[in-house]
Amino acid sequence: MDSTAFVMGCSAIGAGLAIIASIGSAIGQGMAASKAVESIARQPESRGTVMTTLFISCAIIETTAIYGLIIALILLMANPFVGQLP
Amino acid sequence: MDLANKNLALLFEISGIPVYLTQSLLSTWIVMAVLTLGAIFARIKMRSFSPVPSGFQNFIEFAVEAADNMVKSAMGDGFGALGGYFFSILAFILASNYTALLGLRPPTSDISTTLSLALLSMGIMHFLGISRRGMRYFKEYFEPVWAFFPMHLMEDLTKPISLSFRLFGNILGGVIIFELIYELFPFPLRFVIPSFLHAYFDLFVGALQAYIFTTLSITFMSQKASAN
């Protein structure tokens, strides 16, 4: 088998696996949103503060998924392994 | 389909290493020109300053006061000069993210732009910490016990990386999704369906990420500069 094709195929599988990192961030965002809805239901007047905090914390939680996305993008676009083939 | 940041022209060479005019560099220049002209326009308009604000002056005062209040609520008094810095950062990132609506490649989809913005914020953070707190700033690296020193060092290393990669990944993800979407749909549908996605990925995510970047920079700075 052509070794370049093998390396590129394995990199594509690795890129797919790297996106699995977004599972954790999705669960975390769901928990944050459910707590925010609970606290708004308990204190409707604090809606503005809670929403701002929710947006900021969601963007911070998202960082984990973004790291996975960046690893996938590096594997797909700037593959570091293909250049090392003999 | 080509997702790369294309080279448009060769600018100059530094000891044999070519420096290209890329798509994102071109849109950076466009954003810089728009922001500079806007600032000059606002300055000329403010010549006719009136004690009772109205119209354009009202808008400018609202924007400046919002930036100042953002700094004041997070860091307390004595950091008034930072309001201008954060206002410029916010305006630059917002304008950069919105260039995607014009079909340009956003400057923030280039890791060099976001990393330099994050390193600028981190540099100001360390400078403020040292100038405001002196030796107590260095002492904090060894608290609660000296064994925590590598952890504090690691925290300082990961702060700019997480700041820059968050912005970069969000915007580049949007760019890639739109490349795929425009490939997917046939010609007449391209004018209908992607516009709804532009509203989310460009307008909402762009504004949210600009706000997040600014807020996190303020939070990091207030931790380092005004902790007691």
Q: Residue A64: which domain range?
A: 18-77
* Measured distance between the N- and C-terminal CA atoms of chain B, rounded to whole angstroms: 54
Dihedral of the alpha carbons of B215, B220, B223, B224, in degrees to the nearest 10: -140
Helix (H) or strand (E) holding B21: strand B17-22
Q: How far is CA B99 from CA B118, B119, B213, in A?
A: 20, 23, 18
Residue A10 lies in a domain: no
Give B215's contacts in chain A (Cβ within 8 Å).
56
Give domain status of residue B1, yes or no: no
Best probe of the A interface among B97, B114, B170, by most A CBs < 10 A, is B170
Q: What is the tens place of the pLDDT at every residue in B75-91?
A: 877 777 888 899 999 99
Is A72 part of any domain? yes
B95 falls within a domain:
yes
Using the beta-carbon criterion (under 8 Å), do B169 and A70 form an inter-chain contact? yes
Residues contacting residue B171 through CB under 8 Å, at least 6 positions apart: B97, B100, B106, B108, B109, B205, B206, B209
**pLDDT score at B181:** 86
ipTM for the predicted complex comes to 0.79
pTM reported for the whole predicted model: 0.86
The amino acid at residue A18 is: A
Q: Which residues of A touch B3 (CB under 8 A)?
A: 77
- Mean pLDDT split into 10-residue runs, chain B, 228 residues: 75 84 91 94 83 81 88 80 90 93 89 93 91 84 85 90 91 88 82 84 90 89 75
The answer to whether residue A29 is domain-embedded is yes
In chain B, the number of structural domains is 1
Rounded to the nearest integer, the mean pLDDT of chain A is 89
Distance from CA of B134 to the nearest CA of A (A): 30
- How far lies B139's CA from each of B130, B148, B154, B227, in Å? 11, 11, 16, 12
Domain CATH code at residue A53: 1.20.20.10
CB contact under 8 A, A63 and B3: no
In a domain, B2, yes or no: no
- Chain A: closest CA distance from residue B212 (Å): 6
Give the percent of chain B with pLDDT over 90. Answer: 29
Question: CB A59 to CB B209 under 8 A?
Answer: yes
Residue A46, min C-alpha distance to chain B (Å): 17
Which residue of B lies nearest to A71 if distances are taken between CA atoms?
B169
Is residue A66, in this structure, part of any structural domain at all? yes
Q: Which of B123, B124, B127, B152 is nearest to B139 (CA)?
A: B152
Tokens standing for residue B54: 């109205």
A28 lies in some domain:
yes
Question: Based on the structure, what is the number of domains in chain A?
Answer: 1
If DSSP states are collapsed to H, E and C, what string results for B153-211? HHHHHHHHHHHHHHHHHHHHHHHHHHHHHHHHCCCHHHHCHHHHHHHHHHHHHHHHHHH
Classify residue A83: in a domain, yes or no. no
Q: Give the nearest partner residue to B172 out of A56, A59, A73, using CB atoms.
A: A73
